[in-house]
Chain A
Amino acid sequence: VPSGPITEETLGELIGRFHVEYERRFGQRFEYLPVQGVTYRVQLIVPAEKVNYPAAPEADDAGSAPAPVETVELRHLEHEPIATPVYERTALRRGQRFDGPAIVRESLATTFLLPGQRAEIGPLGEIIIATVAASERSAA
């Protein structure tokens, strides 16, 4: 795409370049056929306030698992159904830790931990998920 504002002339130039590139790749030139734009990739730069990352409140019980809001049964993951705790994202506190299988719900997303994965809540409330060795897994 030629730099600057998109005008009738630059569109003409763009279509001309398309035919050159098409001929280079496929050995044919179809100048009499209309060109249809199907995929557009647009990059925008907008000035914005600096993002502020507030620290997450610290847990009283750092290192242990939060209280689940409910327990559900997962099917088709393994041969037998698995009882799985469900956590609410907004209730999670820094330093809490829990093992998969687990489900974390929030208003626009769901995070799912497989068996053998461990989540730890970081300083900003982020969920850090790591695979844990079988020997380290908690009996819970």
Chain B
Amino acid sequence: MTIDTNQVRTPLREMAEAEFEHHYDCDRFTATVLSNRFGYIVEHLCGALLTTAFSPILRDWYDFAATVAGPPAEDYLTPSLSNSLVYHAGAMMDAVRNTIEEFGADRLRPGDIIIGNDPYRTGTHVNDLLLCRPVFGDGEILGFISITAHQLDMGGLVPGGFSGTKRSVFENGLVISPRRLYERGEPVAESFALILDNVRFGGVIEPDLRNIEGALRLGERLLLDTVRRYGRGAVLGAMRYTCDASAERIAAGLAALGDGVYSGEDLVDADGLDDSEEYRVRVRITKRAGRAEVDVSDTSRQMRTSINSSVLDAKTAVMVALKYLFDPGGSFTSGSMRPVDLIIPEGTMLSALPPDGAIFLYWEATNALLSAMLRALAPALGADAIAGDVASCNIHNANGVLADGTPWLSGAQCGGEHGPWGATRHGDAESYMSVYQANGLDPAVEAIEADLPLVLMRREPVIDSAGPGRNRGGAAVLKDSLWLVPADHYSMPLRFKVASGFGVNGGSDGATGGVWYWDGRDGAPPRRAVDEDVYGDATPVAGMLDPATHARCRDGEYVYFARQPVWQTRPLATFRYITNGGGGWGSPFEREPERVLIDVRDGYVSVDAAVREYGVVVTGDPETAPEQLQIDHAATEALRRSHLDGPR
């Protein structure tokens, strides 16, 4: 490995004004203004699409992202990514280049939109359609405005596509090689027909494609307006400046960490074929000065079903880990990865190949990579480490047909799609978030119930599930959905074997979750949410569960989610998801007793767990007299002292 520690360039902060202008064709102030302007452009056009989208996955989940990218001559550098789905944004930096290079930049004309959705070329999965609009000024390409947006369906075996059980690209969905969707501002009929002839729910997808075209047109207008006001040289210079700044900040963060080799691993419980094989991501980070090499060569082979990711998604996870740890306040750009080399052989679960290495639940594979990165660096970072999150999106999809023949589809609404984060030095973690790499919206209960034959019965934090710590992890989320009509369900929880919410800096792990269902009216859901004795008559779907009671149990048996690819239920079935809990930060025995008391009052920590995990003795009954709870300070002090003296 060669490590280039001789940075020839003067750091940006120390650069004299003349040198700055030489590099960036504008002054420092203009570069900063334009850098913010690129961010404004992507947020503005995302706002336009969010307002107009018909599909619930765009409208309610924000499952799309936008970028501004530079021209081919500047290697498609990407100074701004929208603050929406990070998975998309990361892959788009390469997807735009790959798509335009394959199509041919010299064939582009003003008003064209080029599309593509092949995961091996553009990252993520086939439902994520990239729409890429070249922006011309004086006959030359100034750059590209692009949106990748999740389409409700892209064909294939499974309605909506979400499934970890598809075995090849042929089962997965329609693959679209780079081509025009619009030519000189006019829709290309044969491209629309190619899509609409191969997908379900075309009545939603067609108007959404037109809405995306409208949003791209808005982005084009904003970029052209920027060039008119500041000049082409300044705009391109500011793109280079923005990317250089993020490269420099990541390098500075790496430089502050001690040199060394750091290893970590995490796993996906199983693929969708059977549970004979675990899939491990193993990462080895070699850090020297301001550079790092991330080697994932020892990672498991590609899965036999559609839970793999492409190389582009692996790259996103590496970048997100470094951004979280070393540059939380900066911009995420195509410069962020510059100080890092990623070594990844072909055919792993993070670099799957067609036709057998099917890619759909790509985030499950790359979330394990993000976990492995955070685990690897946690010991070296100490107090700056970040604890583990819910990690799996625990996607639940269901579909069926109403009595009048109308098909319906619930996509990523009723499982454990949102859950806790891990704690940091800054405080306790939130309990109801997108996983670290997603940053989507949470679909509104009212919208789900208005559109679909189901009712959401419960959505609440689970007591004693959060990883204890001086700062506590977020609590696991329990969600009950009641299905009013017969339904086919696909359940995709992938991180129950090991606590994904790992503790850091002396903090403890969060609990692991589970999935169950009670079928039909006879199996009406139990009234009390948190009792562990209600699962005896439930069908366990996934989790580390007690074989007799089906309750969650760390030493229990692994229950495999795909032992049935499709779970078919009668009317009035209830599905229950409990996610993993987030990890804690710092020793729980150093948490202020007053903060433990508040957690007991609020139902995050039980009276027993306050003693066991935190060494804090709380007297009173949180259920009947929450305001009368008291700390027994003498008993707490004695308990904490004895904990310091001997092992727990």
Contacts and interface: CB of A to CB of B under 8 A. Distances in A.
- Is the A/B pair a real complex? yes
Contacts of A26: 48, 51-52, 211, 214
A75 B214 CA distance: 53
Interface in A84-116: none
A28 B210 contact: yes
A36 to B, nearest CB: 10
Interface string A20-47: 0000001110100100000000000000
Contacts of A33: 54, 203, 207
B207 A75 contact: no
Nearest to A22: B52
Interface in B37-57: 48, 51-52, 54
B52 A28 contact: yes
Interface string A60-79: 00000000000000010000
A75 B627 contact: yes
Contacts of A27: 214, 217
Contacts of B207: 28, 30, 33
A26 B211 CA distance: 8
A86 B217 CA distance: 61
A50 B572 CA distance: 54
Contacts of B203: 33
A33 to B, nearest CB: 6
Contacts, number: 18
Contacts of A28: 52, 207, 210-211, 214
A75 B211 CA distance: 51
Nearest to A27: B214
A28 B54 CA distance: 13
A28 B49 CA distance: 12
Interface in B67-122: none
A28 B52 CA distance: 10
Interface centre among A27, A30, A33, A75, by most chain B C-beta atoms within 10 angstroms, is A27
A14 B210 CA distance: 23
A28 B48 CA distance: 12
A27 B211 CA distance: 8
A97 B54 CA distance: 56
B42 to A, nearest CB: 18
A33 B54 CA distance: 11
A3 to B, nearest CB: 30
Interface in B548-589: none
Contacts of B48: 26
B545 to A, nearest CB: 40
Contacts of B210: 28, 30
Contacts of A30: 207, 210
A75 B52 CA distance: 45
A39 to B, nearest CB: 14
Nearest to A73: B627
B217 to A, nearest CB: 7
B219 to A, nearest CB: 13
B595 to A, nearest CB: 16
Contacts of A75: 627
Contacts of B51: 26
B100 to A, nearest CB: 25
Interface in B287-303: none
A27 B54 CA distance: 15
A108 to B, nearest CB: 27
Interface string B205-239: 00100110010010000000000000000000000
A28 B218 CA distance: 12
B372 to A, nearest CB: 43
A34 to B, nearest CB: 10
Interface string B26-44: 0000000000000000000
Nearest to B218: A27
A27 B210 CA distance: 9
A96 to B, nearest CB: 32
Interface string B177-219: 0000000000000000000000000010001001100100100
Nearest to B54: A33
A33 B384 CA distance: 52
A30 B52 CA distance: 11
A30 B214 CA distance: 13
A30 to B, nearest CB: 5
Contacts of B627: 75
B170 to A, nearest CB: 33
Nearest to B217: A27
A1 to B, nearest CB: 23
A27 B49 CA distance: 12
Contacts of B217: 27
Interface in B579-638: 627
A125 B210 CA distance: 60
A26 B54 CA distance: 13
A75 B628 CA distance: 12
A102 B217 CA distance: 58
Interface of B: 48, 51-52, 54, 203, 207, 210-211, 214, 217, 627
Per CB-CB distance, the 6 closest pairs between chain A and chain B, nearest first, are: A27-B214, A26-B52, A28-B210, A30-B207, A28-B214, A26-B214
Given A26-B52, A26-B211, A33-B207, 15 more contacts: A26-B48, A26-B51, A26-B214, A27-B214, A27-B217, A28-B52, A28-B207, A28-B210, A28-B211, A28-B214, A30-B207, A30-B210, A33-B54, A33-B203, A75-B627
Interface of A: 26-28, 30, 33, 75
10 contacts: A26-B52, A26-B211, A27-B214, A28-B52, A28-B207, A28-B210, A28-B211, A28-B214, A33-B203, A75-B627
